[in-house]
Structure 1
Amino acid sequence: MNTINEGILSTIGRTPLIELKKVCADFPLRLYAKLEMFNPGGSIKDRPASRIILDALENGDLKPGATVIESSSGNMAIGLAQLCRYYDLNLVVVVDPKINRHTLNILKAFGVRIEKVETPDEHGNYLSGRLQRVQDLLDMIPNSYWPNQYANKANPHAHHQTMAEIVESMDNPPDYLFASTSTCGTIMGCAEYVRSQNLHTKMVAVDALGSVIFGSSAAERLVPGHGAGRSSKLLNKDFIDHVVHINDKECVGGCHRLLNKEAILAGGSSGAVIAAVEKLRSQIPDGSSCALILPDNGERYLDTIYNDEWIKAHFEKSECSIAVKGRAQEVEVDAEESDDLQKIAIIGGGPKGMYGFERLAAQFKAHLVEHKVEIHVYNKTAHFGAGDIYQPNQPEYLLMNNPIGDVNMWIDEQPRPVVPEPLSLTEWLQKKKNRTVIEKEYASRALVGEYLEDGFNAIANHLPEGVRGSYFQGEVIDLEKENEDECYSIHVKTARGDVQKMPHQYDQVLLATGHPKNKLTEEEKEYQQFAQQNEGTGFVPFIYPVNSELQEVAAGSSVAVKGIGLTFVDAVLALTEGRGGTFEREGDSLKYVSSGKEPKVMYPFSRSGLPMIPRGPAPQNPTPLKFFTKKAFSRLKADLHGAKLDFKAHILPVLYQEMNVAFYDVQLKKYEYKVDLQDCETYAEIEHHIERFHQQHPDIQRFDPVLFLSHLDGPDFLHADSFHAKIKEYLEFFLAEAKKGELHSPWAAASAVWRKATPVFGDLYAFGGLEPESQAYVDSRFRRLLNRVTFGPPIESSEKILALIKAGMLNFRMAQNPSLQTSEDDHTFVLYSEDLDESVATNYLIDARIANVSIDENQSLLYKNLQQRGLITLFKNEAQNHVYQPGCAAISREGFTVDESGNPNPSIACTGTPTEGVTFDNDALSRNRNNFVSDWAAMVRKSHRVPSPIKS
């Protein structure tokens, strides 16, 4: 058989597809790499170059002897150079200073005329300048042709063949395709083929951080050919299932992992693709097949990505030790890093850690930096700014619990933020996403995560002169005091399980580690063991990330769900909407349309058995509280002469008063009662008018705050089915009231009271302000009652829950405080109600709760190690021989940890969830509530050491 090809151009395409066995060996995925460096020009760009030139020659747009003029960062230029040399065409390529020496030499060898643009735009990028130069040259050079790879439909058409080759090489089409972006020709061509063939393959766009293709802020990028400084004219976002943004460091790290693990020397975009798989791993079901397009070889990057000096200059060598090798390594500190260098570590790169980062940047910009400062941010995942809760790659149906108008990551104080445009979420959606925004609506947590990540990147890109940021992915598990100068080193556990000591010593550390994940209790260990020993049975102790953690729950199974709060809503929607089910609007309600992939029935249960009351939109001008005010409690505390507050005696009665006021203020107006309760000065006056109202309307039921908080807590239902029916009525009623809003529904008005009271109560609660027994009562019981009526899910999510009840997929018949048992005979979990003498058996048990802060119970080693080293102690609320320990670390009023000697440590501060128990309500994205970081950043800046005097 004749295997001789007809000329060099006939070798374009048909590149090999290989299985990657080692680079992500611990991932339960099947990875296949399309090695585009095997094209004759060394990259995937040979494909569109060939298609564009051949089409232009065929249709007469390109004439013999013409001059081709194109803008390129390298690979497209080489592809065109090969085509033009073969067809005796002239070629002019417009490049910029980022082009590497190797590529430049190749182009010169092909006889290409090089035009270099030297002036970047305000973001440090050159694409706009290059394209302008192309237009100028087209005007100057006769018989010239612009391939316009950025908008030429032949570009994506060339990649129909790329995708076809991948599909032909595999037994089945891949479940996911990962492709880097620039012109978007590759991913669009592959996506078009997938759609034309009705394939199930999901398209993952791997974009660069600082690229504007998908609406992010423009920023300087170091890796050429990855991302773009302007939007793509080829892109149809509806064809893309996931977008993963990768920064330059992650590109470098992915390239080195490919080289070290698979012996593949690949270019920067290939490294980005590897990093993207690692980022998206939690969202990909186990066993999935993933095709990865590796665009080019690494020979053209030997002076950059594979050069230690270049890495050190741009990222700092130790910084890339995690990114490049997958583990921290011992690295010598540069000689220039003298005692004058100040290093600050932020442990936890989620929202609260980012707030500290933002205040540090603002402080150092407002005040002269006399010597170098480095801020190092450590985060367990690659989602800096978003953290675990707001990861941008989570499903869109998981909604925020705060309306869009409430979210603003920037604080209104001096000094001002370093970024030129500190946008609220509303402003960001309008400007970056071109969306019409209703501030009372609720955004997805993924979208908010994108907003937060964009804000983090903006801070990182606008650090003041003399301040450098470094960002490390890995779990910090220990702090070690290095010397008497209160400097600390950090021990990091990477995603691959390696534990290494970082080669840095930090003057200040901020702990912002976010939500805990507690160890399994003995009872939960038994459930886990039971599930492992019985086929068709499963136990899910923690639901996040929902796609991977709930994957094992089989279609058609029965499921017990422990907890009926916000996490319950996420779990239920993940098992229904997340599996292809849909909700259709029918009038004022929703109807669920099954996909057939969800469980047959889910049985929620908790102590009360009650779902949370839906949360409606807050009005523009809400009615303020009358009695639950800072001023009123200041007077009360003065009367107590320093004694702690008794929640039941001093606080709860005032809260009940406010609920009565809120309820009847709306109720009386509804019935056109002659007196406005807001005009009353005392609660006695209000009580008087409430009595008068009920005398006039004896048939109207009285509102009782106690029953409101414990509604349905103890009725004697004869049958479980009647409890289920009552829950349906309960949810329907409160949904209707939430839609009316607090200005028109007395029930919604009463629900809103605790939301308004929380900031004042937080001040009363903080630092042991309540008697120990009172704090224990609030933490263990009363808080959940208040949260249930006030901080429930958005209306849309509650409508979905009601639709699932009507569809028979959610059943509350066993919801109220059943016992949980296991049945060895039936291989099931059993919910049993002693009062009803009824039970149900389920295949799966899901724990849909979020753990409280507890250093003793936390899975993380960090706080355990800090405690063992004596760097932190547990907080105790003590008074009159009573002691209560909520489980968090003790901190000073400035937010500094308290060591085993009882002294605040000015080198280690705490913020956010780790302070819960000393402070109250750290879940919100608020910049003002429990704000320790503003004063902390100012303190850090003031402690900025004066440079050592020069010795003569």
Structure 2
Amino acid sequence: MTERSLCIVGAGLRGAVLLERVSASIGELLTGQDLVVHLVDPHPAGSGRTWRDGQPGTLVMNTVAAQSTVFTDATVQCAGPIVPGPSFLEWCEAVADGGTAAPGLPPALRAEAARTRDWSNPSRLLYGHYLRWAHARTVAALPPGIRLVEHGARAIAVTETGDADTGGPAWELQLDNGSSLSADAVVLALGWLPVTPSATESELAAAVADAQLDWVAPDNPIDQDLSRVRAGEPVIVRGLGMSFFDTVSMLTEGRGGRFVEREHGLDPHRLQYLPSGAEPVIHAGSRRGLVFRAKSHYGAPPPPSPQRLLRAALPALLREERIDFGRQVRPLIDADATAAYYETLARLRPHALARPVAQLLLALEAHGTSSPQWRQALAQGVPDAADRLDLAHVERPLPQSFASAEEFTARTIAAVHADAEQAALGADSPLKAALLSIGASRLTIVPLVEFGRLSAESFAGSYQDFQAFAGILGSGPPLFRSRQLLALLRAGIVRPLGPELQLRVQGGRFEASSPRVPAHTVRARTLVDAWLPLPAGRRSAEPLLRSVLEQGLARPFRIDGLETGALDISPHDNALVRADGAAHRSLFSVGVPSEDARIFTIIAPIPGVNSTVLRELDATARAALASIATTRGTHR
């Protein structure tokens, strides 16, 4: 019996799903042959690095429980067999009912599973247990022809060892424990990767070293050493997105502080923070200057967003050879958001409209949001300007300058409070209905953007600007995180720095300031970067990725000559593209490293929606098996 070999590098969510998809299709594509699958990752298979055990229980998912799975379902349109399994929510329910064994699940997490509802944002600890359980389920169900070998190590180099058509393994991988392994096919499922410093960052690093300061560089928050942040001292935090909320949680709750409901006051949801005394004073800022907006609390998974105009235009846009995002796509996104706003307003407060909402929507569809005809229809149809949607203000809400740091802090508190109030309304907020439409459009526009459909100028300009804006609206924290932030702002534990954050090393300290908040400079001995670096192609610090690029086994993805930070891959199966432009037959890459080519890779599989992630991974697993099946391998 011939035994072939497949190596999957990365055993997180995507790597584990790949193994399940290989198991599902091997009987069809690799008949009469045995397969050894090498699964390479220094972290536990299933949860990988991001969702591993041992992290603080206060860190939670940004996704609600009902919107996560690792199994195919009847909606998934893929070539491989459908092998259903429980979504994360269904697993929680089964664990709580005693219908699913979860060995090693601590009592506290078992109790959390029992409390989890479809709209809950569970802890990352609990989600990690689900992922490891799902992987164990896959391993237990592997057909007799598959032998799994898990390597608790890191792959640091891959070398092409010969022509797979002539027999023998096509690839050799070096691991950081000094061992090596051979494989007929390799799939890279690497996830978020470190990058080498830019010139600016190198200058900063040199200044930090000279001044003997502490710089906690960008990384997954659970891998950052926050013990260097000293109690009671100021710390500068750069970034106000998803990682910011994790960092703040670890520096407050993670150090013994507590959030409690106030005993008095008219606001029943107003929290008070009780410090432990171990917290630093967190001075936080970013380019935009405001934190990401809270996700709305619906008491259910977020409702679908119609996006009627954008979806109706998709067929015609897909026939275009090149698309100008700012001219052809963004106006449709804005119009759909505007329609969602006024439809919700008409449902909740019909007296705010002087004419039927249908008439407004006809004018919107005919003329778009930037036209004088729309502005005239809006003035006539919604008499009170306070009832109208101002998307330009939503995107750029801050004035050009502030009189003082105190004024900017008050403005920040008011903005976070107002956003939390809107989020608490759930489906009854016209504003949040509009913002939900914009955030959800990121998935709808994927076919218009992926694999270089935009012009280079449009991709680097209006598209990237939109992605930054939509991320603030659609990738924000759960509502309770915004309420906690309000308590920390009021307590003075978190202090906003302002937009267009500027940082330098001066006089033996970090200095942070905003040109729009005059006469306010914060000095600190510690800087924490609360953000994750985007894929950087040639600037990657991951040895394995550098290995394939330096050998010409892969090349950066380009749009009209513009080199992006992504790896170039084949659209139909994720095969890596060589430096000479030829696609590999047996070397593949999935997920984040190809973000600029295959758009929106940061999402995890969602049940019941024909998941693009599951379809992509199924296609890659089957392509890897097909490539192995056509080689004349020898017994190993």
TM range (shorter): 0.7 to 0.9
Aligned length: 589
Deviation readout 1:719-747 (Å, 9 max, x if unpaired): 22111110110000001101111x21011
Confirm whether residue 566 of structure 1 aligns to residue 242 of structure 2. yes
Matching residue of 2:45:
384
1:112-511 to structure 2, matched below 5 A, reads 340-365=2-27, 369-381=31-43, 383-412=44-73, 413=76, 415-416=80-81, 422-434=85-97, 435-485=114-164, 487-494=169-176, 498-502=177-181, 505-511=182-188
Confirm whether residue 730 of structure 1 aligns to residue 415 of structure 2. yes
User: Are residues 949 and 778 of structure 1, via their aligned partners in 2, closer, same or farther at CA, if it must alter by over 3 Å?
Assistant: closer
1:755-904 to structure 2, matched below 5 A, reads 755-778=439-462, 780-812=464-496, 814-824=497-507, 827-835=508-516, 836-878=518-560, 883-894=561-572, 895-904=574-583
Partner of 2:428, secondary structure, is coil
Shift of 1:409: 1.1
* Contact 1:709 1:786 survives alignment (8 Å): no
User: Are residues 648 and 856 of structure 1, via their aligned partners in 2, closer, same or farther at CA, if it must alter by over 3 Å?
Assistant: same
User: Are residues 869 and 598 of structure 1, via their aligned partners in 2, closer, same or farther at CA, if it must alter by over 3 Å?
Assistant: same
Q: Matched residues in 2 for 1:677 and 1:622: separation?
A: 20
Shift of 1:945: 3.4
Matching residue of 1:721:
406
User: Are residues 839 and 908 of structure 1, via their aligned partners in 2, closer, same or farther at CA, if it must alter by over 3 Å?
Assistant: same
Shift of 1:898: 0.7
Code of the residue aligned with 2:544 in structure 1: it is L
Partner of 1:876, secondary structure, is strand
- Give TM-score, length-normalised by structure 1: 0.59
Code of the residue aligned with 1:346 in structure 2: it is I
Q: Matched residues in 1 for 2:633 and 2:441: separation?
A: 54
Shift of 1:478: 1.1
Matching residue of 1:616:
296
Matching residue of 2:601:
922
Q: Which moved more, 1:602-611 or 1:579-588?
A: 579-588
User: Are residues 777 and 679 of structure 1, via their aligned partners in 2, closer, same or farther at CA, if it must alter by over 3 Å?
Assistant: closer
Code of the residue aligned with 1:933 in structure 2: it is L
Deviation readout 1:366-401 (Å, 9 max, x if unpaired): 6673121111111132x2111222123211111111
* Contact 1:776 1:886 survives alignment (8 Å): no
Matching residue of 1:175:
none
Shift of 1:922: 1.1
Partner of 1:888, secondary structure, is strand
* Contact 1:916 1:922 survives alignment (8 Å): yes
Q: Which moved more, 1:580-589 or 1:777-786?
A: 777-786
User: Are residues 492 and 804 of structure 1, via their aligned partners in 2, closer, same or farther at CA, if it must alter by over 3 Å?
Assistant: farther
The structure whose RCO (Cα within 8 Å, separation 6+) is larger is 2
Code of the residue aligned with 1:566 in structure 2: it is M
Code of the residue aligned with 1:408 in structure 2: it is T
Q: Matched residues in 1 for 2:67 and 2:374: separation?
A: 35
* Contact 1:377 1:471 survives alignment (8 Å): yes
Shift of 1:905: 0.5
Partner of 1:457, secondary structure, is helix
Q: Which moved more, 1:938-947 or 1:763-772?
A: 938-947
* Contact 2:37 2:147 survives alignment (8 Å): yes
Q: Matched residues in 1 for 2:338 and 2:88: separation?
A: 34
User: Are residues 491 and 732 of structure 1, via their aligned partners in 2, closer, same or farther at CA, if it must alter by over 3 Å?
Assistant: same
Q: Matched residues in 2 for 1:648 and 1:780: separation?
A: 10
Deviation readout 1:741-785 (Å, 9 max, x if unpaired): 1x2101111110123212221111100011101111256533111
Matching residue of 2:278:
597
Code of the residue aligned with 2:466 in structure 1: it is F
Query: Which ranges of structure 2 fall in alignment gaps of 5 or more residues?
Result: 98-113, 263-267
Q: Matched residues in 1 for 2:453 and 2:85: separation?
A: 36
Shift of 1:475: 1.3
* Contact 1:613 1:734 survives alignment (8 Å): yes
User: Are residues 396 and 417 of structure 1, via their aligned partners in 2, closer, same or farther at CA, if it must alter by over 3 Å?
Assistant: farther
Matching residue of 2:356:
675
Deviation readout 1:827-867 (Å, 9 max, x if unpaired): 32111334413312122111111101012222111121111
Q: Matched residues in 1 for 2:368 and 2:447: separation?
A: 27
The correspondence for 2:218, drawn from 542, 565, 569, is 542
Q: Matched residues in 1 for 2:484 and 2:145: separation?
A: 52
* Contact 2:40 2:154 survives alignment (8 Å): yes
1:512-531 to structure 2, matched below 5 A, reads 512-531=189-208
Q: Which moved more, 1:448-457 or 1:426-435?
A: 426-435
Confirm whether residue 704 of structure 1 aligns to residue 382 of structure 2. no
Shift of 1:935: 1.6
Shift of 1:897: 0.7
Shift of 1:707: 2.0
Partner of 2:23, secondary structure, is helix
Q: Matched residues in 1 for 2:534 and 2:463: separation?
A: 9
Code of the residue aligned with 2:582 in structure 1: it is N
Matching residue of 2:253:
577
Q: Matched residues in 1 for 2:553 and 2:224: separation?
A: 36
* Contact 1:560 1:846 survives alignment (8 Å): yes
Shift of 1:532: 4.4
Matching residue of 2:287:
607
Q: Matched residues in 1 for 2:55 and 2:82: separation?
A: 29
* Contact 2:498 2:514 survives alignment (8 Å): no
Shift of 1:637: 3.9
Deviation readout 1:164-191 (Å, 9 max, x if unpaired): xxxxxxxxxxxxxxxxxxxxxxxxxxxx
Q: Matched residues in 1 for 2:55 and 2:61: separation?
A: 12
Q: Matched residues in 1 for 2:580 and 2:541: separation?
A: 26
Q: Matched residues in 2 for 1:834 and 1:715: separation?
A: 9
Q: Matched residues in 1 for 2:231 and 2:366: separation?
A: 58
Q: Matched residues in 2 for 1:874 and 1:864: separation?
A: 11
Q: Which moved more, 1:695-704 or 1:765-774?
A: 695-704
User: Are residues 493 and 529 of structure 1, via their aligned partners in 2, closer, same or farther at CA, if it must alter by over 3 Å?
Assistant: farther
- Give TM-score, length-normalised by structure 2: 0.87
User: Are residues 499 and 367 of structure 1, via their aligned partners in 2, closer, same or farther at CA, if it must alter by over 3 Å?
Assistant: closer
Q: Matched residues in 2 for 1:686 and 1:872: separation?
A: 43
User: Are residues 679 and 374 of structure 1, via their aligned partners in 2, closer, same or farther at CA, if it must alter by over 3 Å?
Assistant: farther
Shift of 1:903: 0.6
Deviation readout 1:28-57 (Å, 9 max, x if unpaired): xxxxxxxxxxxxxxxxxxxxxxxxxxxxxx
* Contact 2:236 2:284 survives alignment (8 Å): yes
Matching residue of 2:110:
none
Q: Matched residues in 2 for 1:534 and 1:353: separation?
A: 42
Q: Matched residues in 2 for 1:875 and 1:686: separation?
A: 34
* Contact 1:360 1:941 survives alignment (8 Å): yes
User: Are residues 945 and 652 of structure 1, via their aligned partners in 2, closer, same or farther at CA, if it must alter by over 3 Å?
Assistant: closer
Say what the alpha-carbon RMSD is for the aligned residues.
Answer: 2.6
Code of the residue aligned with 2:454 in structure 1: it is L
User: Are residues 538 and 770 of structure 1, via their aligned partners in 2, closer, same or farther at CA, if it must alter by over 3 Å?
Assistant: same
The correspondence for 2:624, drawn from 913, 917, 940, is 940
Shift of 1:685: 8.5
Q: Matched residues in 2 for 1:778 and 1:399: separation?
A: 32
